[in-house]
């Protein structure tokens, strides 16, 4: 994460309750011989999960059906294995500890059919069960739309993606109620297809922008690199990357100078986490792509008519930026970092190169127009 989450970020109580119900079910499944109502708690959530069943063979399986298929597969495992599964889920509720010592093969002891049934249930709990009204009622009446609006308030996390700082979580529309506002998808930091035990863990689900969640991350594993080696990742509630990021302007006098992103730490664990963050969300490629044309960036941002104005505006944009701006303006962090770098280099050389490139472009344009006029 570029910025850690605000410490007062509210937990989505629907996920809290569903996570508790899943743990309850796994515990009851250790000894119980047949699938029945006793596998579910007597609370509103347990009753809602039991009651949510398909009404005919042609209907898609609902929550109870998904639980039943997991139970049937658990019965093919030994009692010791069922106890192990329950113990692992209970012992790994503190996600900060899991991020500190990750174990991607946590459920490797399960038969593949059992794991697949667990995965299907996990996806259904997140995708459909969370929207059951009795469960929302049990969670104080706060549904996922209301939780999202609370999450992105300016006094907490703001409407900018905490992972990249580049995109809004979702546009806010005037004259539209909470239920009909657009919202960001909740990203599973530990993807539910590989870590189904965390599918509805409230600390595992974080709203991210579409680019981070759908285009960049997809189903990438935070803790397993492409070469299958173990890697580490920032824990979003307590860790952040922004202090360890550097921007440099390379080839300043060339026709096309470029911005390069690098890490300003020698700590091997931090570098590993920064590399993971970059790999998961394509941070370097996105930033370096944004600043592909530096002359256009300068023209768009300050539109200088003289070197004096250019120098003054660059220095102004390099001044300290408030947290409220970082939370409300896309790319604010990255543009501020760019202008800080631009303010620290030989601005006169940058200006002269920029004016030379622009004059060449104008001369080329005049030449093309003159050729067209005589042809």
pLDDT tens series, the chain, 375 aa: 999 999 999 999 999 999 999 999 999 999 999 999 999 999 999 999 999 998 767 678 899 999 999 999 999 999 999 999 999 999 999 999 999 999 999 999 999 999 999 999 999 999 999 999 999 999 999 999 999 999 999 999 999 999 999 999 999 999 998 888 899 999 999 999 999 999 999 999 999 999 999 999 988 999 999 999 999 999 999 999 999 999 999 987 777 889 999 999 999 999 999 999 999 999 999 999 999 999 999 999 999 989 999 999 999 999 999 988 988 899 999 999 999 999 998 888 888 887 776 665 544 444 444 545 555
Q: Does 261 fall in a domain?
A: yes
pLDDT, residue 253, reads: 75
Residues 206, 250 within the same domain: no
The secondary element (H helix, E strand) that includes residue 66 is helix 63-74
pTM above 0.85, yes or no: yes
291 and 203 assigned to the same domain: no
pLDDT for the residue numbered 300: 92
On whether residue 229 sits in a domain, the answer given is no
Q: Is 180 exposed, middle or buried (0-12, 13-18, 19+ CB in 10 A)?
A: exposed
- Would you say residue 96 lies in a domain? yes
Task: Please indicate, yes or no, whether residues 250 and 166 belong to a single structural domain of this protein.
Answer: no
Of the candidates 188, 280, 286, 281, the residue with the CA atom closest to the CA atom of residue 225: 280
Tell me if 95 sits within 8 A of 201, measured CB to CB: yes
Looking at 149, 184, 217, the residue that finishes a domain is 217
Closest listed residue to residue 47, CA positions, set 135, 143, 166, 124:
135
161 and 206 assigned to the same domain: yes
CA distance 4 to 149: 18
What does the pLDDT read at residue 362? 47
Number of domains in the chain: 2
Tell me, yes or no, whether 269 and 209 share the same domain: no
Same domain, 308 and 342: yes
Looking at the structure, tell me whether residues 204 and 99 fall in a common domain. yes
**134 and 265 co-located in one domain:** no
Residues 171, 253: one domain?
Answer: no
Query: Are 146 and 89 in a shared domain?
Result: yes
Which residues does residue 224 pair with via DSSP β-bridges, in sequence order? 230
pLDDT at 235: 98
How big is the CA angle at 168 (ends 275 and 215), to the nearest 5 degrees?
50
Dihedral angle of Cα 47, 49, 50, 55, to the nearest 10 degrees: 130
Residue 210 in domain: yes
Whether residues 59 and 136 fall in one domain: yes
Q: Is residue 4 part of a domain?
A: no
Cα–Cα distance measured from residue 246 to residue 248, given in angstroms and rounded to the nearest whole number: 7
- pLDDT attached to residue 360: 58
CA separation (Å) from 271 to 94, 96, 249, 252, 263?
24, 19, 21, 27, 7
Strands 258-263 and 245-250: antiparallel
First to last CA, the chain: 57
State both tokens at 78.
């030994």
CA pair distance 351, 262, nearest whole angstrom: 25
Count the helix, strand and coil residues of the chain and give each as a percent rounded to the nearest 5. 50, 5, 40
Q: Are 191 and 163 within 8 A, CB to CB?
A: no
Range of the domain at 257: 242-355
Do both 249 and 198 map to the same domain?
Answer: no
d(CA 209, CA 157): 13
pLDDT of residue 358: 61
- The answer to the question of residue 98 being in a domain is yes
């Amino acid at each position: 994460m570029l910025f850690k989450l605000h410490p007062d970020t509210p937990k989505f109580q629907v996920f809290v309750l569903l996570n508790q119900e899943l743990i309850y079910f796994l515990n009851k499944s250790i000894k119980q011989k047949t699938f029945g109502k006793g596998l579910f708690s007597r609370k509103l959530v347990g009753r809602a999960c039991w009651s949510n069943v398909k009404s005919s063979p042609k209907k898609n399986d609902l929550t109870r059906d998904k639980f039943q298929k997991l139970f049937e597969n658990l019965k093919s495992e030994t009692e010791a294995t069922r106890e192990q599964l329950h113990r692992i889920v209970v012992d790994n509720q503190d996600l900060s500890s899991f991020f500190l010592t990750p174990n991607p093969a946590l459920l490797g002891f399960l038969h593949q059919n059992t794991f697949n049934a667990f995965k299907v249930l996990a996806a259904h709990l997140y995708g459909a069960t969370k929207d059951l009204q009795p469960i929302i009622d049990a969670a104080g009446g706060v549904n996922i739309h209301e939780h999202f609006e609370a999450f992105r308030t300016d006094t907490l996390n703001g409407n900018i993606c905490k992972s990249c700082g580049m995109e809004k979580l979702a546009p806010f529309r005037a004259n539209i109620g909470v239920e009909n506002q657009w919202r960001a998808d909740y990203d599973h930091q530990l993807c539910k297809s590989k870590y189904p035990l965390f599918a509805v863990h409230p600390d595992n689900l974080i709203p991210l922008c579409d680019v981070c969640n759908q285009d960049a991350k997809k189903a990438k594993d935070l803790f397993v690199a492409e070469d299958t080696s173990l890697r580490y990742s920032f824990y979003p509630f307590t860790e952040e990357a922004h202090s360890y990021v550097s921007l440099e302007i390379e080839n300043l006098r060339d026709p096309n100078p470029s911005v390069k992103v690098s890490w300003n730490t020698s700590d091997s664990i931090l570098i590993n986490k920064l590399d993971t963050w970059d790999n998961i969300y394509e941070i370097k490629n996105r930033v370096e792509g944004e600043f592909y044309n530096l002359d256009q960036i300068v023209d768009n941002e300050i539109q200088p008519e003289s070197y004096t104005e250019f120098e003054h505006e660059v220095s102004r944009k390099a001044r300290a930026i408030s947290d409220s701006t970082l939370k409300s303006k896309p790319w604010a962090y990255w543009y501020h970092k760019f202008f800080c770098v631009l303010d620290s280099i030989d601005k006169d050389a940058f200006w002269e190169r920029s004016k030379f490139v622009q004059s060449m472009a104008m001369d080329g344009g005049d030449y093309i127009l003159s050729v067209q006029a005589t042809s």
